[in-house]
Structure formats: C-alpha cells, structure tokens
Structure 1
Amino acid sequence: MSDENTTTAQDSPFRHETASRDEAPQFVLPLVARIERAAPPARTDALETAARAVLVMLSDERSLGEGEWARAMRDWQDARIRKVVRRARGAEWRRAEALPGITVTGKSAEVRVFPPVPLDGWPKDLARLQVSGTDLDDPEPPAGADPTHPVLWMSPDVDMSAGKAMAQAGHGAQLAWWELSAEDRTAWRDAGFPLSVRTPDAALWRELTSSGLPVVRDAGFTEIAPGSCTVVADHPALRAPRP
C-alpha cells in the first residue's frame, strides 16, 4: 500500500506536491506478503523482509544496465516511487510465485517482489489479491537495534496497517540505497542487506528527523495525511560526517 517522499531533492519521487514526475507514466512496484491463517509472520519481521526485498530488486542484475527488468525499473523511478503490498496464502501464493520476481525470506516472513508494472496494468494473479486486512503483531517486543547495522526508524506518531508500514519500510531502504556510495552499496549487498526496523521514543524520533538522515514523507494516497513523516533511514555510512 503506498507512495512517498524525501526532504532533500526539489523534485523528489516521494514528494506529495505536484511535480514533473507526475507527468510521466506511473508505475508501481508490487510486493506480495505470504500470510497464512495458521502461521502469520511477525510484524517486525515482515517489515524487515519487505525492506530487504526492495533492496534485492534494486540491486539485482536483471534490474540494471540492459537487464530484462531494467527498462521497467527506470520507468518506475522516473515517476512516483509507488509500492503496493498485497497479501496471499495457499494457492494465491503459489500463483504469485509462478510470476517473474524474487522471494525474500525472513525469520517468519516471506515476501515476493516483482518488477514494476503500470499503475493500471497489474497481472491478473496479483490484481485479485487483497490489499487491506494486512494486520500483524509481534509475539514479543523486538530486541534493541544493532547500531552497527542499518536501522529503519518508524514514526511513533503515525498508525499504519502492516501492509502500509511494509511499503514505508521499503521506501526508507530505497532512500538509504540511493544515498550510499557504490562501495557502501556493494558492501551492504554482499553482507545480505542486514537491517532492522524499530520504533523510537518521541525524543529520539525528534532527534532523528532533524539529523540530516534520509526521511520518508508520505504522499497521502492511502491511510495517512500527505506530508506525514513516516521513516528515517539510518545507515552507518550515512551517519559519518561528509566532506
């Protein structure tokens, strides 16, 4: 579910204001979360797995250069950076797995990410999947974040469904990816994209949003008000003073 913005570029692909990107054909990055009735994934693991899925798609050789998904990836990134998370179980999941894409597995979560499609041109086996109702819980509070790894900090002020939050986590991961040097991207990819998703207290959130780290602001298409600050992308390489 979703589509959002950063505070940096004047014509950011996430900004909620009208911009030249709105004139381009609009594409969406589909993500499908496997949510079986008997064994749903933990919420935090689902968010982390969705974020890694976005990074895996961005860095896959098929998304780069002359790869088979490269044109779709370029078209998607030339317009608004929309991501939509749908849910599947049983036969629905098996049909989704049969379509071109990449499945990323977490501790309890499975998320399949697909190359971008036109906003009104979803494959029928994905279009029929539900968007709403993706409500997940954590059986136990997540452990503290590892400060040596990237952390996607979710706003403590904005209530989101799990599907919406998964899309937002994906946006945060993408902003961090864009900000990194080629060397830091390679190191992160080679390590398997370690990251955590956590919710800070109010004081830390205020500090993070004014720290200069990449910030996601929602475009307001679903669930929450336009301009809402939803995620701060905190990668160790982005914390260091810049020359």
Structure 2
Amino acid sequence: MNTRSRKLLSARKPSSSTKLWPLAAAVLGAALVVSGCASDGGETASSASPSPSAASESPEVSPSTGTSTGEAGSASPGSSAPAPTAGNSTEAASPTGPKTCAAADLAGEVEDNIGGGAAGSVYRTLVLTNVSSAPCASAAGFPGVSYVDDTSNEQIGAAAVRSGENGNPGGVFVLEPGQSVVADLKETRAENYGEDCEPHQATKLLVYPPEDLQALEIPHEILACENPNVELLSIGALQKR
C-alpha cells in the first residue's frame, strides 16, 4: 500500500476521543437527572420542618395564670381562675353575734320580793348576771333549778317545774358585761306536806342555764323535801332586766 492509500484509510477511522464523547454525554445526563431528583427531595424535606422564625411566632404562655398571651392562643374571658387577692379570700367569715352565755360566764343570786308571798309559798326572783369580759347571748327558755345539799352535793327532791304564768316563753337576749336576765322563782314551804315531805335541809340552788350542761351554784338555805313526788320549786322563763 502506498502512502496516499494509508492517509485515506486513517481519515475514515474515528478517533478514540470521538467514540468516548457520546458515552460521556449520556453519563453527564444521567448525573443531572439524579441531581435534580435529590434536589427536589431535599426541598420537600426542608419545607416539612418549621423554620426558626416560625417557631418563634408561637404564642407564649404566662407562668402566673397558665393562659396564652399570644394573639392566636389568647384565652377567652373567664376561662381560667383568677389569682387569689386580698379581697378574694375563701376563709370563712367570723361569727357576727356573741356566743351563748355559759354557766362559767354567769353569776347567780336569789332576790326576795317585797310582799312576794302567798299562803304556803314565797315568790322570789332568780337573777343571772354576765360576769365575763365580753357580751354573751342568753339562750331562750327556762333554766333548770333544784335544791342541793352541801354535804353530799346531791340534788334534793324534785327539780323545778316550768311556770307559764307570765305568758312568755322567753327569748334570746344579748347581755353586755354586768347585765342580767331574771326569772320568777316560786318556793312552796316544805312544812305544808308534813311527814310526806321527808324534810332535808338544803344549802344552795343548782342552776343550769338554758341549753347548757354545766351549772352554777347559788347559796340558798331552806328546808326542802326528799320525796321526789313533792314539787316545791317553780321557775319562769328568762327575761331581760
């Protein structure tokens, strides 16, 4: 083969670089497609997560009341309990009235009524005075009264029966220190009953204020009857003096 024939043959054969170009172009195209897909997935993932600016716009919560202070989460009026204030105390109010007069708050005496007597009976006045340092309220009703012996400190005979002669069952009266309530006290003479009386010398009266289980003692010497069927004492309802 001559020199001219070799030149023509070499011109018709493609070079190795010419064969590689289509392959390189295909690889480059595939890479671009993959890169585009990854780019789209990254944008989707990033859009799902909140940005810092969006998180900072969430409503704040007040630590004192627990209600939202942001515009989007603001609580409706009355949806939370108000914080306690000095004028919003739940403590129970103190009683406005005075306490009931107890036996320990009172001192008693028996007053003789001038001309207060009838055939076989004597009318006197039982006086109960508030000797405490504070006002108290006498309970409505009748005091319990009986004769007592100092030696045995036991009741003698029957207790006083209630008398409705004044037509008033009594009421509640507020007693300032030094003020008194009174009740009519009728004593029948023990001598009227002879031997049936079973006479026994009494040295004091035992007085129970209404609705009180404690009693006060009043010195009072008189002949009483041990027979429980003999009723020597009669007491009226308490009245304010």
TM normalised by structure 2 equals 0.23
Higher share of residues assigned strand = 2
Q: Higher relative contact order at CA 8 Å, sep ≥6: structure 1 or structure 2?
A: 1
TM normalised by structure 1 equals 0.23
